[in-house]
Amino acid sequence: MNLIDKLESKERLSYEDGLALYELDLFTLGKYANERRKALYGKKAFFNINRHINPTNICKDICKFCAFSANRKNPNPYTLSHEEIIEVLDTSITHNITEVHIVSAHNPDAGLEWYLGMFSKIRAKYPNLHIKALTAAEINFLATTYNMSFETMIDRMIEAGVDSLPGGGAEIFDEKVREYICKGKVNSKEWLEIHKIWHSRGKQSNATMLFGHVEDRGHRIDHMLRLRDLQDESGGFNAFIPLVYQRDNNYLRVEKFLSPIEILKTYAISRLMLDNIPHIKAYWATSTINLALIAQEFGADDLDGTIEKESIQSAAGAASSHGLDLNTFLELIQTSGFIPVERDSLYHELKVYDQ
Ligand code: V47
């Protein structure tokens, strides 16, 4: 069966099909991705009101793409106290956040109790706030450092109040590329294993892919297929988030920016390849807000959230350090022809802004 017939009949796509999708022109590809998106959600565009907190930037690992961790190019180490984290939330809660998204670094001096204690303190003060925290890379770091199985570490996180896992740390699963860009941190098998265990506890998570650096199209398709295979088994992924590589202030030299067309194709292909992951998130912090709005026509149905403050991508050049004001965000979605739908972290609809 040829590719177009497969797309028409919604047949599951192979690795070779994934590569062939990149060869289609953007509008043919976009038509099929948009059809899938429309069938699922019509003109709805999901977002949440969230606060990102990055509580420490001291990291024992050196990922070439990272401009956030304290190092020669960013010699400003910090670790927030639990009190400082709660103070941040005391302000954010007045902006009606429903989620706190916590991603740190692999800080060898902070101690396990610093990591877990911040969750129990947040949970005690804000029982209804959804805590999305710790990437599989951090879980691997903590389990290894404190001699625990992934299972024990995950159960301790759940006990402390963590509700879901963000999708970070996945980067690119291909072992050779991974060795080059982030040698020493969680490997691909471990990343997938951690999410599988998390899902086995009846919990949900997201998955990211960092693209636009030294990987090729085949590596991206391979990455998507490894996620699709796990999702067939465990079913716990809510959203897939292609993160566009930002190249300032880090150690990974990349000659060329990705073209907007290649970025839009990658969103569209994610929608088509990942037939079992419900949401494709155009994370505006890395794609730019304008391209994220256009990505809604190419398979993406979610734009992440208002963010408020963001330190990882903005350290590498993204314009996300101060998040986006809610009214601006709503207006941008509406003027691009979509209906903003505020969701909670697990995609229950909270408010539809249909006028
Ligand atoms: O894993 C680091 C990425 C991730 C750069 O689950 C970079 O809803 C681009 O995971 N250029 C952390 N990206 C952020 C993350 C995330 C973001 C938004 C939503 C969700 C979610 C998760 O940031 C890291 C890494 O892949 N990152 N450096 C960079 N130079």
**Going residue by residue through the chain (355 aa), what tens digit of pLDDT does each one get?**
899 999 999 999 999 999 999 999 999 999 999 999 999 999 999 999 999 999 999 999 999 999 999 987 788 999 999 999 999 999 999 989 999 999 999 999 999 999 999 999 999 999 999 999 999 999 999 999 999 999 999 999 999 999 999 999 999 999 999 999 999 999 999 999 999 999 999 999 999 999 999 999 999 999 999 999 999 999 999 999 999 999 998 999 998 889 999 999 999 999 999 999 999 999 999 999 999 999 999 999 999 988 887 788 888 888 877 788 899 999 999 999 999 999 999 999 999 998 7
Task: Check if 168 has its Cβ closer than 6 Å to any atom of ligand 1.
Answer: yes
Q: Tell me the torsion sign for CA atoms 85, 89, 90, 92.
A: positive
Q: Ligand 1: which residue has its CA nearest to atom 2?
A: 66
Order across the sheet with 349-352: list the strands.
302-305, 44-48, 339-343, 349-352
Task: Check if 304 has its Cβ closer than 6 Å to any atom of ligand 1.
Answer: yes
Domains and CATH numbers, the chain: 3-345 (3.20.20.70)
Taking the centre of ligand 1 as the mean of its atom positions, its distance from the CA of residue 71, in whole angstroms, is 18
Q: Ligand 1: which residue has its CA nearest to atom 17?
A: 168
Taking the centre of ligand 1 as the mean of its atom positions, its distance from the CA of residue 89, in whole angstroms, is 21
